[in-house]
Amino acid sequence: MVVLLIVMMAAVQVSYAAVYKVGDSAGWTTLAHIDYTNWSATKNFQVGDIVTFEYNAQFHNVMRVTHVMYKSCNASSPIVTFTTGNDSIKITNYGHHFFFCGVPGHCQAGQKVDINVLRVSAAAAPTPSALAFPILPVAPSPRSAAPFIYLKGAFGMMGLAMAILAFSNSA
Ligand SMILES: [Cu+2]
């Protein structure tokens, strides 16, 4: 029973992927004078998350670049360039992911963002799933009803399934 719970909890954690729109409602632009460093700093990026850049493709683009190029706004040899105006990029590894707009002057004007995926991100800032899943009440007393009522509220059908399992165990 406890092993089953642990497996289910692991599945919930793995499937937890977020989509972040760069600049939120303003999108990817120079007009709104967005502080993209500020925007990025408030996010808890994880591997598997998706960042989307929405912009007018007539005036902007998205270049992924190295740290050196990022610092100097050097658009001469990007790692990859996106130009659709609605680019979704999946984060597949830890560390810094540097992006800027390659249109002359735009990076210098602040249209640049560093998507940093920390290895310890889950510990530094608990995700909603971690907060909603108190491990302590479940493990020591798997037969008591209270934790399962809590789980049912948090996870719907999964919690209900656990409650049924608990019931059949104690019967
Ligand atoms: Cu631009």
Q: What residue spans define the domains of the chain?
A: 2-12+127-170, 18-121
Q: Which one is predicted more confidently, 168 or 24?
A: 24
Report CA(81)–ligand 1 centroid distance (Å). Answer: 12
Segment 7-13 shows an average pLDDT of 54
3-state secondary structure of 162: helix
CA-nearest of 25, 20, 111, 108 to 60 is: 111
Report CA(136)–ligand 1 centroid distance (Å). Answer: 49
Report CA(95)–ligand 1 centroid distance (Å). Answer: 24
pLDDT of 85 > 80? The answer is yes
Report CA(59)–ligand 1 centroid distance (Å). Answer: 6
Report CA(109)–ligand 1 centroid distance (Å). Answer: 9
How confident is the prediction for the chain on average, in pLDDT?
A: 77
pLDDT of 35 > 80? The answer is yes
Report CA(57)–ligand 1 centroid distance (Å). Answer: 9
**17, 51 in Cβ contact below 8 A?**
no
Find the range with the poorest average confidence among 4-18, 39-53, 139-153: 139-153
Report CA(45)–ligand 1 centroid distance (Å). Answer: 23
For the chain, percent of residues with pLDDT exceeding 90:
58
160 pLDDT tier (thresholds 50, 70, 90): very low
Q: What pLDDT is stored for residue 32 in this prediction?
A: 87
Segment 24-35 shows an average pLDDT of 94
Report CA(121)–ligand 1 centroid distance (Å). Answer: 30
Report CA(88)–ligand 1 centroid distance (Å). Answer: 17
Give the tokens for residue 135.
């491990």
pLDDT of 137 > 90? The answer is no
Segment 33-46 shows an average pLDDT of 95
Instruction: State CA 13 to chain mean position distance.
Output: 12
Report CA(113)–ligand 1 centroid distance (Å). Answer: 12
Report CA(117)–ligand 1 centroid distance (Å). Answer: 24
153 pLDDT tier (thresholds 50, 70, 90): very low
Q: In the CATH scheme, what architecture does the domain 18-121 have?
A: Sandwich (2.60)
Q: Which one is predicted more confidently, 144 or 157?
A: 157
Alpha carbons within 13 angstroms on the beta-carbon side of residue 18 total 12
16 pLDDT tier (thresholds 50, 70, 90): confident
Q: Which one is predicted more confidently, 131 or 15?
A: 15
Report CA(103)–ligand 1 centroid distance (Å). Answer: 5
40 pLDDT tier (thresholds 50, 70, 90): very high
